[in-house]
Amino acid sequence: MPETALRLTYLVQPGLMPYGDGLRLQEHFFSGLLVEKKDHPSRYTQANYLILLEHTPVFTLGKSGLPQNLLVSQGQLLAQGIDFYATSRGGDITYHGPGQLVVYPIFDLDQHFTDIDRYLRTLEEAVICTLADFGINAGRSAGQTGVWIGNKKICAMGIKASRWVVMHGIALNINTDLAYYSYIIPCNIPDKEVTSMEALLGYNPGIENVSQKLLLHISALFGLNLKQIPVPSLAKVPQA
């Protein structure tokens, strides 16, 4: 694809941060794109955003999720310093924590393709290609989102869309502490397991190495021209 056809996409990499702060960043970029697209079409920049980070331990419940899939009380989570959020994304309950690469594309699909199913499958393909770079043969599970190795899920997905602008995204287990998944029925699928790259490879491939590979595949599949920008000061970002 020629350089002129690439979509300008701002890359934001805040490192490890609590889920609430990451949500504020998402909402900041997401609402900005929506307002610009709706109210100022004549000067709409068409720039997208891509946030890569890790979260401190948190369980998040999707808008169609079942609260009973959290197998401990929120009080027990609080006592262990684990956050809990009901979110606007699709899907059920999942875990985020250190050692897991979380990717939040804030994309206007009008500048890519207006097809949510294709968008999800393209995100999955980027993860499948990344895992293949490390010798892991991953794929899909019929009727379920995410990326799988047999009956073990290695990457969870969930998104929100409005006027073809999307937020939330994917969570790829690299060297995640899998013990946290015993607190939930992940994604409301009781007969499946969760795994990580470290569990499969026998070593930690490193979040920086995986991030670089995944960025390459996302950029190639979506046709992105990535430009890294500083992380906005949270003091200037309204509460989500």
- In three-state secondary structure terms, 125 is helix
Where residue 102 sits, what CATH number does that domain have? 3.30.930.10
Two tokens at 170? 């994917």
- Report pLDDT digits (tens) over 167-192: 999 999 999 999 999 999 987 777 78
Provide the residue range defining the domain that includes 169: 15-233
Two tokens at 14? 């805040």
Amino acid 2: pLDDT? 40
In a domain, 82, yes or no: yes
Which helix (H) or strand (E) element contains residue 203?
A: none
In a domain, 30, yes or no: yes
**Do the Cβ atoms of 138 and 127 come closer than 8 Å?**
yes
Q: What is the mean pLDDT of residues 126-148?
A: 96
What does the longest C-alpha to C-alpha distance in the chain come to? 54
Q: How far apart are CA 106 and CA 50, in angstroms?
A: 6
How many domains does the structure of the chain reveal? 1
Two tokens at 158? 């969930």
In a domain, 240, yes or no: no
- Which residues have C-beta within 8 Å of that of residue 220, sequence separation ≥ 6? none
Q: Which of 52, 82, 147, 187 is flagged as catalytic?
A: 187
In a domain, 9, yes or no: no
129 is catalytic: no
In a domain, 71, yes or no: yes
- Report pLDDT digits (tens) over 26-76: 999 999 898 888 776 655 667 899 999 999 999 999 998 899 999 999 899
In a domain, 148, yes or no: yes
In a domain, 5, yes or no: no
Q: Locate tokens 């995640």: which residue? A: 176
- In three-state secondary structure terms, 176 is coil
